[in-house]
């Protein structure tokens, strides 16, 4: 993915910075970034198993991302750029759950950004933000049980295995029969790690 951030994002648009990443709010002009990201079959392997159609991104995915900034202040899906090059590498997000004080952390990275520690770096920063600034009680994450790379990221980011669970899908992906896995960390565990 060759899309670059030109460095002109206003400070107010920056959601979070890590050592190597800048996370910012998506804008109405960012559809192409999401189309490129979701067009890679490897990126979508454990999600839908196929590219997301452009029309769905333009008419549903991006509008929902933008609307969430207003309905859930402090939460949402944020475009991630490499600080050194400005290159768009994917997104990270903190999403509301049905449980008060609990958010779901997630990410989707371009294949060119895999294996560089970005997933762990961004996830860890969002977990810290959820507890330190947003006052959350718990952060959760889930993926397919067979998605071993994402499971490793969850552990490296400080999340702990909770359970395997099964969800019915009308059109299941290969590996669905092994279930989904949930990982989580609560405030007390995070605080203990922060003090260590």
Do the domain assignments include residue 6? no
Do the domain assignments include residue 179? yes
Give the pLDDT of residue 196.
54
Residue whose token pair is 């189309």: 35
Alpha carbon 40 to its chain's center? 17
Of 57 and 45, the structure prediction assigns the larger pLDDT to 57
Q: Taking residues 9-21, what's their average pLDDT?
A: 79
Partners of 77 in beta bridges: 93
Closest among 62, 81, 71, 64 to 13, alpha carbons compared: 81
In angstroms, the CA 127 to CA 141 distance is 11
Q: Does the structure show a pLDDT above 90 at 38?
A: yes
In angstroms, the CA 143 to CA 3 distance is 27
Domain of residue 51: give its range: 11-195
What's the domain count of the chain?
1
Q: Report residue 1's pLDDT band, with 50, 70 and 90 as the boundaries.
A: very low
CATH of the domain at 133: 3.40.630.30
Q: Taking residues 45-51, what's their average pLDDT?
A: 87
Partners of 103 in beta bridges: 96, 139
Give the pLDDT of residue 173.
83
Do the domain assignments include residue 72? yes
Do the domain assignments include residue 154? yes
Do the domain assignments include residue 149? yes
Do the domain assignments include residue 104? yes
Do the domain assignments include residue 1? no
Q: Taking residues 24-37, what's their average pLDDT?
A: 96
Do the domain assignments include residue 5? no
Let me know: does 118 contact 20? Beta carbons within 8 Å.
yes
Measured at the alpha carbon of residue 80, what is the angle toward residues 6 and 159, in degrees to the nearest 5? 160
């Amino acid at each position: 993915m060759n899309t670059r951030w030109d460095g002109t994002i206003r400070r107010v648009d920056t959601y979070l910075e890590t050592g190597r990443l800048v996370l910012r709010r998506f804008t109405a002009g960012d559809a192409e970034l999401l189309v490129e990201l979701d067009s890679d079959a490897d990126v979508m392997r454990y999600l839908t198993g196929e590219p997301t159609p452009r029309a769905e991104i333009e008419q549903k995915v991006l509008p929902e991302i933008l609307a969430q900034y207003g309905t859930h202040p402090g939460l949402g899906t944020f475009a991630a750029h490499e600080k050194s090059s400005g290159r768009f590498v994917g997104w990270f997000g903190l999403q509301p759950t049905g449980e008060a004080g609990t958010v779901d952390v997630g990410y989707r990275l371009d294949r060119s950004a895999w294996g560089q520690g970005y997933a762990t770096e961004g996830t860890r920063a969002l977990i810290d933000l959820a507890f330190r600034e947003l006052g959350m009680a718990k952060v959760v994450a889930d993926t397919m049980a067979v998605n071993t790379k994402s499971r490793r990221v969850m552990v490296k980011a400080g999340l702990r295995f909770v359970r395997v669970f099964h969800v019915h899908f009308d059109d299941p992906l290969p590996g669905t029969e092994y279930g989904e896995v949930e990982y989580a960390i609560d405030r007390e565990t995070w605080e203990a790690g922060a003090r260590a």
